[in-house]
């Protein structure tokens, strides 16, 4: 797992909203991705590293967080830089699909909808397919996910009042049809069991967490970050993300211990279900400063 920092990734102070996308340094983002993917794979060339993970004949789904009610979302320049890396590795643009729940949410976050035109595709989930269950409740998964060979999970780091943290694993509440049914007391097992479902667990090829803006208090209040977190393991990814978030919660005078306690209600069960590792002794984190 790699956390890459870049002191020059912002050209101005983000205020929230899609306009923040214009303040990101695309060259710095590419440097962060190149450094992360080569370190993660052990390969010296970034294009070779991406090609080792994704084949030209595969359809790649990219799950972003563009949820309504927030003013901070997975930043468009970061996501588009990932699509460029995939294309440089030989994946045709038309086989890359950026998605979330609703098209209006994606547009509000600054994404351009492209259902079937040339270039990278981007659209909301229109249909779901059943056959799975969470907490003995039938659920349906996004047909965008099910139609793809591999998934890149690209969340943004935020505090969540019921989950403690929303990052990689909670991001999949935008991948199935009944997210509202798994809040409250059921949110812990809901998150862990959802991520243990085979179509999500087996398709997840890479997690790229956006910590360029961090929300330690609420989704409409953000602080400037300077890093991305890249991992193969969503549980380890969120365990490290929780540590990063808690540092900012403390700095804002909040209760980081409460966020940790709540997050452990799904991080620990997810590890027990085989989704990933949450024990620091089983995680290898490399930090890169650019």
DSSP codes, 126-152: --EEEEEEETTEEEEEEHHHHT-SEEE
Q: What confidence tier does 161 reach under pLDDT thresholds 50, 70, 90?
A: very high
Tokens of 77: 């320049």
Each residue's pLDDT tens digit, 229-247: 999 999 999 999 999 999 9
Each residue's pLDDT tens digit, 82-126: 999 999 999 999 999 999 999 999 999 999 999 999 999 999 999
Q: What confidence tier does 218 reach under pLDDT thresholds 50, 70, 90?
A: confident
Each residue's pLDDT tens digit, 19-39: 999 999 999 999 999 999 999
pLDDT value at 253 more than 90: no
Distance CA 244, CA 248 (A): 7
Phi-psi region of 17 (alpha: psi -120 to 50; beta: other; left: phi over 0): left
Distance CA 186, CA 224 (A): 32
pLDDT value at 279 more than 90: no
Phi-psi region of 131 (alpha: psi -120 to 50; beta: other; left: phi over 0): left
Q: Which candidate, 121, 132, 126, 49, places its Cα nearest to that of 90?
A: 49
**Per-residue exposure over 43-72, b if at least 16 CB sit within 10 Å of its own CB, e if not:** beebbebbbebbeeebbbbbbbbbbeebbb
- Give the mean model confidence (pLDDT) for residues 75-82: 98
Average pLDDT, the chain: 96
Q: What is the DSSP letter of 71?
A: S
């Amino acid at each position: 797992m790699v956390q890459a920092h870049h002191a020059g990734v912002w050209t101005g102070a983000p205020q929230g909203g899609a306009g923040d996308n214009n303040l990101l340094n695309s060259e710095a983002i590419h440097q962060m991705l190149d450094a992360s993917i080569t370190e993660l794979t052990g390969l010296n060339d970034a294009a070779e590293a991406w090609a080792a993970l994704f084949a030209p004949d595969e359809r790649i789904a990219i799950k972003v967080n563009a949820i309504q009610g927030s003013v901070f979302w997975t930043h468009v320049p970061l996501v588009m830089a990932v699509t460029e890396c995939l294309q440089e590795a030989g994946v045709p643009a038309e086989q890359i699909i950026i998605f979330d729940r609703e098209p209006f949410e994606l547009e509000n976050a600054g994404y351009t909808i492209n259902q079937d035109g040339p270039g990278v595709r981007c659209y909301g989930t229109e249909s779901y397919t059943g056959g799975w269950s969470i907490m003995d409740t039938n659920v349906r998964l996004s047909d965008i996910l099910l139609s793809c060979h591999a998934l890149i999970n690209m969340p943004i780091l935020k505090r969540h009042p019921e989950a403690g943290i929303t990052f990689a694993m909670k991001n999949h509440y935008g991948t199935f049809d009944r997210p509202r049914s798994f809040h409250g007391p059921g949110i812990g097992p809901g998150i862990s069991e959802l991520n243990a479902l085979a179509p999500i667990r087996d398709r997840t090829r890479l997690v790229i967490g956006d910590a360029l803006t961090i929300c330690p208090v609420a989704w409409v209040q953000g602080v400037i970050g300077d890093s991305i977190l890249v991992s193969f393991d969503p549980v380890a990814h969120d365990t490290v993300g929780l540590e990063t978030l808690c540092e900012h919660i403390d700095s804002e005078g909040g209760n980081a211990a409460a966020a940790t306690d709540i997050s452990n209600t799904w991080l620990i069960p997810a590890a027990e279900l085989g989704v990933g590792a949450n024990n620091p002794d089983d995680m290898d984190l490399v930090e890169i400063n650019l």
